[in-house]
Amino acid sequence: MDKVLVTGSAGFVGFHLSNFLLKKGYEVHGYDGITNYYDIELKQNRHKILFQKKNFKATTGMLEDYEKLEVLSEKFKPDIIVHLAAQAGVRYSLENPRSYINSNIVGTFNVMEIAKKLKVKHLLMASTSSVYGANTNMPFDESQKTETQLSIYAATKKANENMAHSYSYLWKMPITMFRFFTVYGPWGRPDMALFKFVKSILNNEPIDIYNNGEMFRDFTYVEDLVNGIFLLLNKPPLKSDKGQSGLGNSTVAPFRVVNIGNSQKIKLTDFIEAIEECIGKSAIKNYMPMQIGDVQATWADSTFLKNLTGYSPKTNFKEGIAHFVKWYKEHYKI
């Protein structure tokens, strides 16, 4: 069974992916900075669960620390690297853009250098639906030009895609970039909408609803996302793939970009209504204008993922919300 290095293993997606791989019998080594961008205790609790599994070890370190990353990688000798660690969040990138350059640009460069040095079978790295930026032709598919990012966060992720393509071409490294579409579910991030909405409604606090509720998102349940990543794990791109119907494969390198989304455009107000129904309580709504750096809508065309793996994310958002609310109440003893 392959050995997998997962960066961001104490993060939301990294935790779920590591747990999934461990259940499948993989040996996993996590690498995470456990930064204070949000509640450190939540990250530590995720790692505690993973440490209960016999095939999991982890190193605490920043992506920018190349020497630490190199030492652990040369000792562990991963067959596959899944790079999920990043400075996340569109809004925080307005306050602290430098952290995005350090983590997402320098850190990702370090991960690519390690992958090149170790000649891993497949390097998989997280991108985001935010790279589609000001594009309005929906659903978004991987053949669209992505030149109009609206936040530093999105711009760093687009830079990652470009850096990865050049490394793939130069060193014949099989690289898959996956673009996430608004991931949610148990153990989610406190800075994301679902977590904030549930917490505020339960505490009788108002929720901020941007663009007066005229927002649309392709909400993707975390287990669906992880399943998609897992199915891509042992399907490295080949140089001969030649673009597969003009979708996400490069024509000159063993490189691809893949959307992983639920392929349903859900209105924010419908999402909030489903939360209210699940909790059995109405939200106190504070309608706000569109926030700078945000996009009005995201919507994934996941045809390429289906072509590659035979799989399409399918969890209904109401079902996913119910799973999250159940976890939230249990975790915070409500």
Residues in the chain: 334
Q: What are phi and psi of 28, to 5 degrees?
A: -125, 130
Residue type, 149: Q
- pTM above threshold 0.75: yes
Q: Cα–chain-centroid distance for residue 268?
A: 20
The bridge status of strand 27-32 relative to strand 56-60 is parallel
| Nearest residue to 37 via CA among 100, 131, 101 | 100
Which three-class secondary structure string do you get for 185-246? Answer: CCCCCCCCHHHHHHHHHHCCCEEEEHHHHCCEECCEEHHHHHHHHHHHHCCCCCHHHCCCCC
The domains located in the chain, with CATH, are 3-331 (3.40.50.720)
| Nearest residue to 153 via CA among 133, 136, 176, 135 | 133
pLDDT per residue as tens digits for the range 79-108? 999 999 999 888 888 899 999 999 999 999
- Which residues participate in catalysis according to the annotation? 153
* pLDDT > 50? residue 123: yes
* pLDDT > 80? residue 243: no
3-state helix, strand, coil in the chain (%, to 5): 45, 20, 40
Identify any residues that bridge with 297 across adjacent strands, giving them in sequence order: 216
Q: What is the pLDDT of residue 240?
A: 59
Q: What is the pLDDT of residue 91?
A: 82
pLDDT band at 8 (very low <50, low <70, confident <90, very high): very high
pLDDT per residue as tens digits for the range 178-216? 999 999 999 999 999 999 999 999 999 999 999 999 999
